[in-house]
Amino acid sequence: MELLIALLFFAIAGAVCLSLFVGAHNTNNNSRHLGHASILLSNYSEWFYSCDPDDINSEITYYDDTLKQCDISFASYCISSDISKDDDFIRSSVLISDPQKEKTYLKMEIKRYERRSKADVSKD
């Protein structure tokens, strides 16, 4: 009888340890994906602030696990940007997701102030 109780105790302890390892593995994967998504968002933001305003268009770009551009069939990350322009600002709504699993990692709106020339201001 004592042997059965000891066996049951070790079986329960093993199940708890296994669930802890699986939870740690999932947390590690989520953290890695979030880290990669934040690197991609940082790179996109730097490009958005530094490029010529005429070159900014809405687009979708795909990246693999090593953060290199690739085709959608090999993609682990997708950056989609929706650009809108109003009086003084260019806005980009950026969504970073996994195209295969349809899971969203990050979503952010970036604004860029565009100073209008004196000729544009005098027309108003």
User: Buried (b) or exposed (e) across 104-120, using 16+ Cβ within 10 A?
Assistant: ebbeeebebeeeeeeee
Reduce the DSSP state of residue 118 to 3 states and report it: helix
pLDDT of residue 118: 54
Total tally of structural domains belonging to the chain:
1
CB 120 within 8 A of CB 87: no
Task: Note the pTM of the prediction, 2 decimals.
Answer: 0.76
Structural domain of 61: 2-123
Q: Summarize pLDDT for 43-57 with one digit per residue, the tens.
A: 999 989 888 877 788
Helix (H) or strand (E) segment spanning residue 61: strand 59-63
pLDDT of 113 > 80? The answer is yes
